[in-house]
Amino acid sequence: MVQIAIMGLGTVGTGVARVVAENAAQIERKLGEPLQVKTVLVRHFKDGPYRQLMTDDFRKIEEDGAIRVVVETIGGVDAAYEYTKRALNAGKHVVTANKQLVAEKGCELLALAKKRGVNYLFEASVGGGIPVLHPLTQCMAANRIDEVYGILNGTSNYILTRMVRTGAFFSDALREAQEKGYAEADPSADVDGIDAGRKICILADLAFGRQVDPADVPMEGIRNLSLRDVKIVQRGGYRVKLLGRAVRLPGNGRTAYVAPHLVPEEHPLANVEDVFNAVMVRGNATGEVMFYGKGAGEMPTASACVADVMEALQASPRREEIGWEPETEGFADPMTLRGRWYFRIDGSLTDAAAAFGQVEVLSEDGETAFLTEPLSGLEAAKQAEGLRQLARMRVLG
């Protein structure tokens, strides 16, 4: 019998307990012994199927030698960081879905796990139920990864899909996403690009092997996106998608950001809808590889957590090293990246052409919406200085 603890009984923590119970036979067959949740750390006791397992005292987990793996689904940094360090120091494997903690402290916690001879695994922190971190660090290990980009926030993608398909109001679509258990406790992290930002940091850390500090990464969400732009670009053959993107630059350089993009309708990301996420990884040997699936929700995310629990137990004494150095040098401003830009201006085509030369017009009706030739973000911003800008977005590709 292998015993584990769950810290935090929110959406994902509850899902972990359910997956362990509902898939018990299959898990036992693979592990060679039954897996059991022994203790659940909560802040407030509540009735329900796990009432008998609950404690509000972390020492009951820390000092219990029978607990071999701790699943951290508290979220945030403060208590989660403290308890994760203490659990690792007590010689327990730790598995998490906590993107914020991994993005901010993952490098340090991996080093601590290594020192203690245990695993710190976090597949569920990016893409919910989609296996992407393991393939990135293991199956694609023979590649130099040049770029990772994708739809990394299920809540935003759900809202965008509802707005486009049914003309739903932003607030109604957000409430639906919350009811389905997709949204963060503070949903502004979803709609303001912060959740996707944490995930692109983790992907960049693992893809390029060095720390990308979330504080350096510009994160723009969908809160200010206008339905008008969504419709104009759709008529022009594009979909608006919130993308996280991390790019390897010459030397030791790299950059990352989150922002709404125009995605050509023939691109595989254009038709990724609802709560689905998709991550594209470009390796120098593989070319582009796409990972697709449910990026949020109780059971998909819990499935990734429980798989990590099983891996932590089976990879004896510990899983091979994940390359992730603490160095932050070499991070560049993503505005240096070149690409085409979409603008909508309060002005005429003549104004647009005077600022940008040749442009591709998408709409002209008092306002003008157009695409530029490839430019860096810095050049695009400078050339647009004299214009009355109503919207600006990057074009993918």
Member of 104, 190, 192, 220 binding ligand HSE (CB under 6 A): 190
Query: 185 or 315, CB closer to ligand HSE?
Result: 185
Choice between 118 and 136, CB closer to ligand HSE:
136
Letters for 111-140 (x = contact with ligand HSE by CB under 6 A, - = none) are -----------------x------------
Query: Is 304 or 395 the residue whose CB approaches ligand HSE more closely?
Result: 304
- Using an 8 Å Cβ cutoff, are 189 and 76 in contact? no
Q: How far is the CB of 18 from ligand HSE (least distance, A)?
A: 17
Q: Out of 192, 195, 205, 229, point to the residue binding ligand HSE (CB under 6 A).
A: 195
10: left (phi over 0), alpha (psi -120 to 50) or beta: beta
Rg over alpha carbons for the chain, rounded to the nearest Å, is 22
- Min separation Cβ 89 and ligand HSE, Å: 27
- Counting residues that bind ligand HSE (by CB under 6 A) gives 11
Q: Is 199 a catalytic residue?
A: yes
Tokens representing residue 149 in the block: 């980009």
Q: Residue 136: which of 347, 300, 291, 326 has the closest Cα?
A: 291
88-98 residues labelled b (16+ CB within 10 A) or e (exposed): bebebbbbbbb
Residue carrying structure tokens 């499935």: 303
What is the contact mask toward ligand HSE in residues 144 to 183, using x (rule: CB under 6 A)? ---------xxx--------------------------xx
Question: Under 8 Å CB-to-CB from 283, ≥6 apart: which residues?
Answer: 140, 143, 144, 145, 146, 289
What minimum distance in Å lies between the beta carbon of 178 and ligand HSE?
Answer: 10
| Cα–Cα dist 127/122, whole Å | 11
What is the helix, strand, coil percentage profile of the chain, to 5?
40, 25, 35
Closest approach, Cβ 131 to ligand HSE, in A, equals 15
**To the nearest whole angstrom, how small is the minimum distance from the Cβ of residue 41 to ligand HSE?**
21
Do 341 and 392 meet the contact criterion of CB atoms below 8 Å apart? yes
Within residues 278-317, the interface with ligand HSE by CB under 6 A covers 295-296
Strands 254-264 and 341-345: unpaired
Q: Which is nearer to ligand HSE, 193 or 334 (CB)?
A: 193
Q: Which of 92, 99, 199, 294 is catalytic?
A: 199
- Tokens at 215, concatenated: 């504080």
DSSP 185-244: SSTHHHHTTHHHHHHHHHHHHHHHSB---GGGS-B--STT--HHHHHHHHHTTEEEEEEE
State which residue, 162 or 344, has the beta carbon closest to ligand HSE: 162
Minimum distance from CB of 300 to ligand HSE (Å)?
Answer: 9
Distances (CA, A) of 282 to 5, 144, 285: 37, 9, 9
Residue 128 or 193 with smaller CB distance to ligand HSE? 128
- Binding residues for ligand HSE, rule: CB under 6 A, are 128, 153-155, 182-184, 190, 195, 295-296
The residues assigned a catalytic role are 199
